Amino acid sequence: MKVEACIFDLDGVIVDTAKYHFLAWKRLTDQIGINFTEKDNERLKGVSRMASLEIILEIGNLSIDAVAKDEYARLKNSWYVDYISKMTPEEILPGSLDFIRELKDANIPIALGSASKNTPMILKRVNLSNVFNAVADGNNVHKAKPDPEVFLTAAKMLGVKPENCVVFEDAVAGVQAAINAGMKCVGIGSTKVLTEADFVIKGLNEMNISRLRLIEKMI
Ligand code: B16
Ligand code: MG
Global pTM reads: 0.95
Co-location of 159 and 57 in the same domain? no
CA–centroid distance, 171 to ligand 2, in Å, is 5
Residues 30 and 65 grouped into a single domain: yes
Residues acting as catalytic residues:
9, 11
Cα of 47 from ligand 2 centre, angstroms? 8
- Which ligand has an atom closest to residue 114 CA? 1
Cβ–ligand 1 distance for 173 under 6 Å, the answer no
Both 94 and 64 in a single domain?
no
pLDDT band at 166 (very low <50, low <70, confident <90, very high): very high
* Average pLDDT over the chain, rounded to an integer: 97
Mean pLDDT of 122-137: 98
Using an 8 Å Cβ cutoff, are 141 and 149 in contact? yes
- Please confirm whether the linkage preceding 162 is cis (ω < 30° from 0): no
Average pLDDT of span 156-176: 97
Q: What is the mean pLDDT of residues 196-216?
A: 97
What is residue 75's predicted lDDT score, i.e. its pLDDT?
98
DSSP H helices, the chain, are 18-32, 38-42, 49-59, 66-84, 96-105, 119-125, 149-158, 172-180, 209-218
CA distance 134 to 154: 6
79 and 103 fall within a common domain? no
Any ligand 1 atom below 6 A from CB of 95: no
Q: Which residue puts its alpha carbon closest to atom 12 of ligand 1?
A: 116
Tell me, using a 6 A CB cutoff, whether residue 46 lines ligand 1: yes
C-alpha 210 to ligand 1 mean position (Å):
30
Instruction: Count CB atoms within 10 A of the CB of residue 65.
Output: 8
Q: What is the pLDDT of residues 6-49, one digit of tens each?
A: 999 999 999 999 999 999 999 999 999 999 999 999 899 988 99
Q: What pLDDT, on a 0 to 100 scale, did the predictor assign at position 106?
A: 97
Whole-Å CA distances, 171 to 35, 68, 96, 127, 210: 23, 28, 17, 24, 25
The CATH number for 213's domain is 3.40.50.1000
Residue 63: per-residue pLDDT? 96
Task: State pLDDT tens for residues 72-94.
Answer: 999 999 999 999 999 999 999 99
Distance CA 62, CA 195 (A): 32
Domain with 117, as residue range(s), is 5-16+90-218
Angstrom distance (rounded) from CA 159 to CA 28: 41
pLDDT score for 85: 98
- Identify the pLDDT of residue 153: 98
Q: pLDDT at position 207, please?
A: 98
Quick one: CA torsion of 205, 207, 210, 215, rounded to 10 degrees?
A: 160
Same domain for 105 and 48: no
pLDDT band at residue 62 under the 50/70/90 scheme: very high
Contact 92, 128 (CB under 8 A): yes
Domain tally for the chain?
2
Contact 76 CB / ligand 1 (< 6 Å): no
Contacts of 71 (CB under 8 A, 6+ apart): none
